[in-house]
């Protein structure tokens, strides 16, 4: 399945040290059966607990794609690969029970998924399919900071929806890089000024970790909003492609 013509994932972005795959999450019962067979017993039990078919499909197709790609990168058999979970649920890979030297993050929304692999330690990826007609200002007032809210209320029509999801993806990628989930309120930090002004990438500092620079990048495209965040290491430089490369 992996490496052949019948995969449901494909390379979406690639730079030195980072690879992001796009996962096709359109309904396809044959693929879902194939994917389900790749999952271990715990994952299959989790798959059964999803009430919504769409959530089941997102989980099975993304987790199986993650497994098969991790096996290829780590040179291990699927049966030897398992996942551990940090305090707020961020998964990490284990081979024969020992943590593996690989960093990844996953995001799925609607019929699209992304799986990223990188050398950076704290790494988060987010994808949001844009849904029109929501109360963007109302939701924004609970999750965005003052400058972000001002920018959102000044935008109108489709630009408002676009900005809402752009900001959401960027902030979610940062939260996912830390792995804190809802325990860190997204209203407690704001995206850097250049990003708010339309730049694709910028260096970011969390207010509670001012000494740690993160690279934050908008990866949005017409099909969905998406963003990438990772902690920069000493010697990282920021190339024109955006992703930090080791210097």
Ligand X SMILES: CC(C)(COP(=O)(O)OP(=O)(O)OC[C@H]1O[C@@H](n2cnc3c(N)ncnc32)[C@H](O)[C@@H]1OP(=O)(O)O)[C@@H](O)C(=O)NCCC(=O)NCCS
Nearer to ligand X, 172 or 236 (CB): 172
Structure tokens at 243: 């992703």
Helix axes 146-154, 136-143, angle to 10 degrees: 170
Site string for ligand X, 55-84 (x = CB under 6 A): ----x--xx---------------------
60 within 8 A of 32, measured Cβ to Cβ: yes
> Which string of x and - marks every residue 22-61 that binds ligand X (by CB under 6 A)?
-------------------------------------x--
Contact 63, 39 (CB under 8 A): yes
Per-residue binder mask for ligand X (CB under 6 A), 107-126, x = binder: xx---------------x-x
Q: Which residue has the tokens 């992001």?
A: 20
Minimum Å distance from CB 192 to ligand X? 15
Stretch that binds ligand X, among 22-30, 70-78, 165-173, 197-205 (CB under 6 A): 165-173
Binding span for ligand X by CB under 6 A among 71-79, 87-95, 157-165, 215-223: 87-95
Residue 164 binding ligand X, by CB under 6 A: no
CA 5, distance to chain mean position in Å, is 25
Q: Under the phi-then-psi rule, with left for phi > 0, alpha for psi from -120 to 50, and beta for the rest, what region is 26?
A: beta
List, in sequence order, every beta strand (DSSP E) within 139-200: none
| CB-nearer residue toward ligand X: 74 or 245 | 74
How many residues touch ligand X (CB under 6 A)?
A: 23
Closest CA to 233 of 103, 44, 75, 81: 103
Kindly tell me which residue out of 145, 179, 242, 244 binds ligand X, with binding defined by CB under 6 A: 179
Residue 181 or 194: the one with the smaller Cβ distance to ligand X is 181
Query: In which order are the strands placed within the sheet that holds 103-109?
Result: 9-15, 18-24, 112-118, 103-109
C-beta closer to ligand X: residue 83 or 245: 83
72 within 8 A of 64, measured Cβ to Cβ:
no
Among 1, 19, 74, 143, binds ligand X (CB under 6 A): 143
Cα separation, 104 vs 114, whole angstroms = 10
Name the site residues for ligand X (rule: CB under 6 A).
59, 62-63, 88-91, 105-108, 124, 126, 143, 168, 171-172, 175-176, 179, 181-182, 186
């Amino acid at each position: 399945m992996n490496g052949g013509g019948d995969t449901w994932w494909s390379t979406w972005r690639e730079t030195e040290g980072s690879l992001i795959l796009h996962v096709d999450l359109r309904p396809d019962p044959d693929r879902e059966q194939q994917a389900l067979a790749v999952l271990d017993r715990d994952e299959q039990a989790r798959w059964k607990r999803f009430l919504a078919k769409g959530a089941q499909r997102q989980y099975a197709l993304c987790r199986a794609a993650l497994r098969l790609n991790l096996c290829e990168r780590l040179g291990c058999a699927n049966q030897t690969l398992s996942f551990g979970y940090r305090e707020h649920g961020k998964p990490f890979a284990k081979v024969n029970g020992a943590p593996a030297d690989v960093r990844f993050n996953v995001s799925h929304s609607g019929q699209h998924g992304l799986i990223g692999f990188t050398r950076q330690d704290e790494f988060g990826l987010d994808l949001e399919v844009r849904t029109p007609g929501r109360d963007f200002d109302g939701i924004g007032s609970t999750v965005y900071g003052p400058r972000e809210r001002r920018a959102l209320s000044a935008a109108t029509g489709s630009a408002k929806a676009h900005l809402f999801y752009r900001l959401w993806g960027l902030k979610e990628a940062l939260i996912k890089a830390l792995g804190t989930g809802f325990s860190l309120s997204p209203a407690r930090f704001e995206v850097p000024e250049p990003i708010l002004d339309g730049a694709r990438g910028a260096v970011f500092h969390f207010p509670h970790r001012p000494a740690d620079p993160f690279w934050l990048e908008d990866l949005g495209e017409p099909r969905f909003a998406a963003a990438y965040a990772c902690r920069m290491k000493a010697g990282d430089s920021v190339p024109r492609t955006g992703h930090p490369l080791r210097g």
